[in-house]
Amino acid sequence: MDILLTHGYFLHEDPHERKVMKPYPPLGILHLSAYLKAKGFAVGVFDTTFQRMADFEALIRVERPPVVGIYTNMMTKFNVLQMIAFCKAQGSTVILGGPEPPYYAREYLAHGADVIVRGEGEFTLEELLPHIARHGLQNMEHIAGIAFRRDDGEVIETPPRPFIKNLSDHPWPDREAIDIPQYMRVWKEHHGQSSVSAICARGCPYTCTWCSHSVFGNSHRRREPEDMADEILWIKERYDPDLIWYADDVFTINRRWFYRYHEALQARGVRIPFECISRADRLDEDVIKTLAEMGCFRLWIGSESGSQRVLDAMKRKTQVEDVQAKTHLLQRHGIEAGMFIMLGYEGEDISDLEATVEHLKVSSPDIFLTTVAYPIKGTPYYAEVESRIVADKAWAERSDRDLTVAGRHSRRFYAFATRWMVNAVALHRARRSGANPLQMARMAANVVVGRLGMALTQREAEKRGRPVVLDTGV
């Protein structure tokens, strides 16, 4: 074995993920596996999703892989740190990739990682693995797209590696390396339908200030529509899922590609219900009609806020009224509309939160999910608030989600704000549909509790005479 590829997502050891139970395969390392195998490397894949940390450690003891490559994100950081330490104790060289390590290269290297891959991993690993096999960790300065620590302790970040130009020149993800049917069984058991993920493109060219571009930059590259349709046909014939999840950042970003893809699927007789993400400005009636014909049953829009002032501060390049109009248009064509809502962005005040509640009432999405803004290192948002970021734990004991920003509202404030928002929107819908009076009374009570809680936590902070702090752990 030249390299063992793995990740740190242990589903059964994460209480939140056990509640959701919507796991998807690690497509990133499956793309790497397929590419490296095509180049003649001996590649092992250990999918941690349905395993325990003890299972991973047992495998490392037995296999003793010379190199372990670990996909790392913010959610899996703590598991990955434990995996690094164990692999190093067993004599393996550890390479990290994914969105989390590039901006914390020094920290991960200090905690045992040998090399950080910055950006896409295919070409970098193709060059890096033979070098390590022949020369170890010496003289790696000429390998683009990595960070490492020299013997003298200096951290070296080599120039970035150019992005892959033609994604369709590369093989499909190595799904056969893991147990896809197990993912489908979990979905079927918990949600009544099986689902398989696929990705048509890499990167997003938009400029949202809070969004990380650490792997693909602001590039956007799409696979050939015929190649993508061939993969979906293969998925249907091999696994026959009930649903497809397109993991693209903006599925309908390129209309010409989108219509060609529709035609390619039709030519192959493939129609599998699917869910995807897009933007309001990349939708119109013809696109939405085509989505419905293709089998789209739900489309998520990154609405984020109902305040145009906040959207402009985020550089979302979208209009509140357009989001509302496209939400209604989706629903008229039988497609569920989902929304992502972000509370607590820099400069947001009560009037902006009230505007978001009204926005949700007007647009009436079928579902919306809320989060509280937190600064991800490497983003413009992080740079904007960096001087006010408060970290009350050591780096190895926290993630960016745990960072606080001085001068903002507290964790309790946003817990109450979310309670108010969710129940205010639900009560509005209930009144329109003539729901049970007792249910509406409960919603109304929660609205009052939410608003009262917001006011009280704000007043308490003012009485203490201290800056209000946004705890982003909600």
Report pLDDT digits (tens) over 167-192: 999 999 999 999 999 999 999 999 99
Residue 208 lies in a domain: no
Residue 440 lies in a domain: no
Q: What is the mean pLDDT of residues 397-408?
A: 91
Residues 108 and 73 sit within 8 Å (Cβ to Cβ): no
Residue 58 lies in a domain: yes
Residue 69 lies in a domain: yes
Provide the domain limits for residue 41.
Answer: 3-157
Angle of helix 350-363 relative to helix 411-433, nearest 10 degrees, comes to 30
What's the pTM?
A: 0.94
Residue 403 lies in a domain: no
> What is the pLDDT confidence band of residue 404, given thresholds at 50, 70 and 90?
confident
Residues 304 and 313 sit within 8 Å (Cβ to Cβ): no
- Closest by CA to 142, choosing from 124, 154, 155, is 124
Q: What is the CATH number of the domain that holds 80?
A: 3.40.50.280
Residue 137 lies in a domain: yes
Type of residue numbered 74: M
| DSSP strands (E only) in 176-242 | 195-198, 201-202, 221-222
Residue 26 lies in a domain: yes
Report pLDDT digits (tens) over 11-52: 999 898 999 999 999 999 999 999 999 999 999 999 999 999
Type of residue numbered 316: R
Q: Give the total number of structural domains in the chain.
A: 1
Residue 281 lies in a domain: no
**Hey, what are 319's tokens?**
């209009």
